[in-house]
Structure 1
Amino acid sequence: MPPIDRSRLTDLIAAEQQVYTAAHPRSRELFAQGSNLFGRVPMTWMNKWTGGFPLYLDHARGNRISDVDGHTYVDFALGDTGAFAGHSPRPTVEAVARRMGDLGGITTMLPSADAQWVGAELTARFTMPLWSFTLSATDANRWAVRLARLATGKPKILVFGYCYHGSVDETFAIPGPDGKAQSRPGNVAPPVPLDLTTRAATWNDLASVERELAHGDVAAILTEPALTNIGIVLPEPGFMEGLRELATRYRALLMIDETHTFSAGWGGATATWNLEPDIFVIGKSIGGGIPCGAYGITTEVAASITSHTDAGDADIVDVGGVGGTLAGNALSTAAMRATLGEVLTHAAFEHMIDLATAFTEGVQATLDEFDVPWSVSQLGARSEYRFARPAPRTGEEAAVAHDDDLDAYMHLAMCNRGILMTPFHNMALMCPETTRADVDRHTDTFREVVGALYG
């Protein structure tokens, strides 16, 4: 395949940019008026949307989003997993309204029966017997890392290059040329050099993992079952089993973050692939859009933590830095109970995974037809294409495959044709209300857009 015609790509981007700007005058106006917001948006990452300014939300339901200019889109971004259950799923909305209205008590610092139901449900899905709640997966990871250090008496965690675990300071690390962990490019003001808190290894490379564990100072391996925020990078056969064996051998905990990989199935990759974590983290999707997160631990980890707290080494009840006033509040736990109990069911996962398979096949058909040097990977209800063939096998390979111009073109062109993809990358997620017609629409649109570039 000859190199991409960059001048043609530049012309296509300019044409799509012109269409986008003309179609969204109200969004553009609101963005211009946002001078009281840092970056003119509520969170600076919202500037990641291609087009010079983001779309402004009017309303959303199911897998449809409507903007303030009157356009409605098929939404495959779904809040980058936060709306995995769909936008405003009816059972979640009813449970939240009941808690806020008829029952009362959004946050009270008191436990609720809903929290106990959710804990039991999380155990059924992800095997961990003991749970604690947070308001995000970032918080769950941050607090669980502290507990891992307490339980093991070791100071460092091991992460993989180009992993993503929220905004936890210790996780923005990549392996340096000398083997020491170094700060990932773009990391905002790390408080200390990353090698003081972290060891970094290469995904799908067990030798690099063992080399770092051999130092004897790693409390936990923190990993997703597949890398997801640098594009989907699946584990090679035996890799996850190898992590479990190495963690046990070197007396480190295996800490699995399924915030994104929950797409693998009703019990995430942990159940689907029979993983055996010591600590488990999840967030975003389990509350149907209401802020929430959770971490689970084994009884063995709990016993180690308790032995330290009983000895007075740490205080996890009051001032120990684990927890938050709003964590586990009545509103979040009501939302989690409704979402897990009535929306993200076994039947919903079967439906969503079938659609993701059709989506992946549709993308692959276009790549084959035009001999495009890209690849597409599927993780249950999630699918993503990357600008590399074959598919990247490490985070470093996935990072090299990034192409700003191709990203800009694909996102703009799809948006202009009524389809939203995740702004950070080219990920598509199915929700219970996604239909085969939505997938077929993407397949046809993807063929049109790619054909304009490669045809």
Structure 2
Amino acid sequence: MSSSGIAEHAVEALSARERERFIAANPQSVALAERARQSLFGGVPMHWMSDWSTPAPLFVERAEGARFFDVDGHEYLDFCLGDTGSMFGHSPAPIAAALREQAGRGLTSMLPGEDAVACGELLAARFGLPFWQVVTTATDANRFVLRWARAITGRKVILVFDGCYHGTVDETLVRLRDGHTVHRPGLIGQARNLTQHSRVVPFNDLAALEAALAPGDVAAVLCEPALTNIGMVLPAPGFMARLRELTRQAGSLLIIDETHTLSTGPGGCTRAWGLEPDFLTVGKAIAGGVPCAVYGCSAEMAQAMHLARAHSREMAEGHGHSGMGTTLSANALAMHCLRANLEQVMSAQAYEHMLWLATRLAEGFRALIARHALPWSVTELGARCEFQFRATPPQNGAEAEAAFHDSLQMALHLYLINRGILITPFHNMTLCCPQTSAGDVDRLLAALDAALTELLAMPGARQA
């Protein structure tokens, strides 16, 4: 029996019909998929692009605002938005202008320009941390901050929450199983034992957190303010404040990763909830979709970083490599787009619109769930919301994972795609951008309503 309330045979019947519909309606995507298999591993430029619900990859021709168009000429409402990479819409006008402006003025030089100074000032004002560095991806930002944390504290252990998402940082590719830290299932080619210096505890479990910090060997806790990739999980009241207290008591640093939770407001959860991290990392959306990420730190951490760097140089007799940074970090093109995004795109007015629409969408999801009498729930975080296949919102990663119903999720996603609507794959998350309209939200709700109506009308579809 499925905990989703819908029988598997009904899900399979809907999926089979929708796969046939996709293949018939998308001959150019199907042809490109066949051609791509001759030169691209798995037929796609990054292997996870073949893991969507479609029977062949959907090839995009162009995207703008809250919409994109595929190579077969179909128009889509985009509630995925690059899994927040295009949080503020595809090609916002100020970002497109910044790209044009910088194109003829040099793309990268390993030297700063005036944009860099402006970006530092804008980031400090927005997030409340005084000092900043610019890198290429959020994975880089998290990896480099963990190096700083270990250098500053002299400790090696990194603590994360079960089900967390911090890009592809090795230390975070672990899970909690039967009370033990283990490698994440599916991890490929890992040569070293990550459990030696990584520790996992359940989100929202203060007793487990306190016990994990007690040995005094944790350099830093790397934390999303809310879990976002295992299914959305919000912090319990008081959890984040107590996390800050416990890390200070244990002499461990607190790193807040706002890469996905930037949807909460102009300063992320850090400003909205009054968090006080030692370090803050943000990627994906911070430069309007151009590859760029940043990390910020407190004045105390900046001083400790200077001391750590001086000690490293002394040990290396004046030379050496910190293990941080790439030649494309803070390149001129990314810096110009970062400045444009901070100054012109990530405005309070944009967030006001995004949050209003996300609330409208979440309320619509709840109304649909009630109307169809399904044991599901909805979780909201700023401009993001998600319907989950469990009666109450999950409190930790294990609960969120237990609510997964892959075949049902993929069937619903494919149904929506075939009707010109995209939501985030692998779970049921949606994101509203500044160009999303109330009509777009209503269209998504109507399409999902139709999918559920068709599913539940099948003989024997409903399960208790």
TM-score range, shorter chain: over 0.9
85-94 or 113-122, larger mean C-alpha shift = 113-122
Task: Indicate conservation of the 8 Å contact 2:4/2:405, yes or no.
Answer: no
Task: Indicate conservation of the 8 Å contact 1:372/1:454, yes or no.
Answer: no
Q: Which amino acid aligns with 2:286?
A: I
Task: Indicate conservation of the 8 Å contact 1:159/1:198, yes or no.
Answer: yes
CA change 1:86–1:246 in 2 (3 A) is: same
How far apart in 1 are the matches of 2:67 and 2:325? 35
Q: Which amino acid aligns with 1:152?
A: T
Report the counterpart of residue 296 of structure 1 in structure 2. 296
How far apart in 1 are the matches of 2:339 and 2:370? 43
Report the counterpart of residue 378 of structure 1 in structure 2. 380
Report the counterpart of residue 109 of structure 1 in structure 2. 110
Q: How many angstroms does 1:96 deviate by?
A: 1.3
CA change 1:4–1:55 in 2 (3 A) is: same
Q: How many angstroms does 1:318 deviate by?
A: 5.6
Aligned partner of 1:89 among 92, 97, 120: 92
Report the counterpart of residue 132 of structure 1 in structure 2. 133
How far apart in 2 are the matches of 1:251 and 1:411? 45
Report the counterpart of residue 336 of structure 1 in structure 2. 338
Q: Deviations over 1:75-109 (max 9, x none)?
A: 000000110111111101101110112xx110001
How far apart in 2 are the matches of 1:314 and 1:376? 53
Q: Aligned pair 1:78/2:43, yes or no?
A: no
CA change 1:317–1:405 in 2 (3 A) is: farther
How far apart in 1 are the matches of 2:291 and 2:443? 31
Task: Indicate conservation of the 8 Å contact 2:5/2:375, yes or no.
Answer: no
Report the counterpart of residue 203 of structure 2 in structure 1. 203
Q: Gaps (5+ residues) in structure 2?
A: 458-464
Q: Aligned pair 1:28/2:35, yes or no?
A: no
How far apart in 1 are the matches of 2:330 and 2:160? 27
SS of the residue 1:58 aligns to? strand
Q: How many angstroms does 1:308 deviate by?
A: 2.4
Q: Which amino acid aligns with 1:175?
A: L
Task: Indicate conservation of the 8 Å contact 1:160/1:173, yes or no.
Answer: no
Task: Indicate conservation of the 8 Å contact 2:4/2:376, yes or no.
Answer: no
SS of the residue 2:228 aligns to? coil
Q: How many residues align?
A: 452
How far apart in 1 are the matches of 2:82 and 2:456? 30
Q: How many angstroms does 1:411 deviate by?
A: 0.6
Could you tell me the TM-score, scaled by structure 2's length? Answer: 0.95
Report the counterpart of residue 141 of structure 1 in structure 2. 142
Could you tell me the TM-score, scaled by structure 1's length? Answer: 0.97
Q: How many angstroms does 1:317 deviate by?
A: 8.6
Q: Gaps (5+ residues) in structure 1?
A: none
Q: Which amino acid aligns with 1:156?
A: V
Write out aligned runs for 1:29-48 (5 A): 29-34=31-36, 35-48=38-51
Q: How many angstroms does 1:203 deviate by?
A: 0.4
Task: Indicate conservation of the 8 Å contact 1:244/1:254, yes or no.
Answer: yes
SS of the residue 1:33 aligns to? helix
239-248 or 315-324, larger mean C-alpha shift = 315-324
Report the counterpart of residue 243 of structure 2 in structure 1. 243
Q: How many angstroms does 1:180 deviate by?
A: 3.6
Report the counterpart of residue 68 of structure 1 in structure 2. 71
Q: Which amino acid aligns with 1:128?
A: L
Q: How many angstroms does 1:248 deviate by?
A: 0.3
Q: How many angstroms does 1:314 deviate by?
A: 6.7
SS of the residue 2:255 aligns to? strand
SS of the residue 1:311 aligns to? helix
Q: Which amino acid aligns with 1:453?
A: L
Write out aligned runs for 1:217-296 (5 A): 217-296=217-296
Task: Indicate conservation of the 8 Å contact 1:81/1:260, yes or no.
Answer: yes
191-200 or 372-381, larger mean C-alpha shift = 191-200
CA change 1:331–1:296 in 2 (3 A) is: same
Q: Which amino acid aligns with 2:391?
A: R
Q: Which amino acid aligns with 2:452?
A: V
Q: Which amino acid aligns with 1:422?
A: T
Q: Deviations over 1:199-239 (max 9, x none)?
A: 11100101111111112111100010000001110001011
How far apart in 1 are the matches of 2:240 and 2:61? 42
Task: Indicate conservation of the 8 Å contact 2:4/2:389, yes or no.
Answer: no
Task: Indicate conservation of the 8 Å contact 1:314/1:320, yes or no.
Answer: no
Q: How many angstroms does 1:190 deviate by?
A: 2.3
Q: Which amino acid aligns with 1:44?
A: H
SS of the residue 2:390 aligns to? coil
Q: Aligned pair 1:389/2:386, yes or no?
A: no
How far apart in 1 are the matches of 2:309 and 2:67? 48
Report the counterpart of residue 452 of structure 2 in structure 1. 450
How far apart in 2 are the matches of 1:191 and 1:2? 38
Q: How many angstroms does 1:407 deviate by?
A: 1.3
Report the counterpart of residue 462 of structure 2 in structure 1. none
Q: How many angstroms does 1:390 deviate by?
A: 0.9
Q: Aligned pair 1:325/2:319, yes or no?
A: no
How far apart in 1 are the matches of 2:259 and 2:456? 35
CA change 1:308–1:100 in 2 (3 A) is: same
Q: Which amino acid aligns with 2:102?
A: R
Q: CA RMSD in A?
A: 1.5
Report the counterpart of residue 187 of structure 2 in structure 1. 187
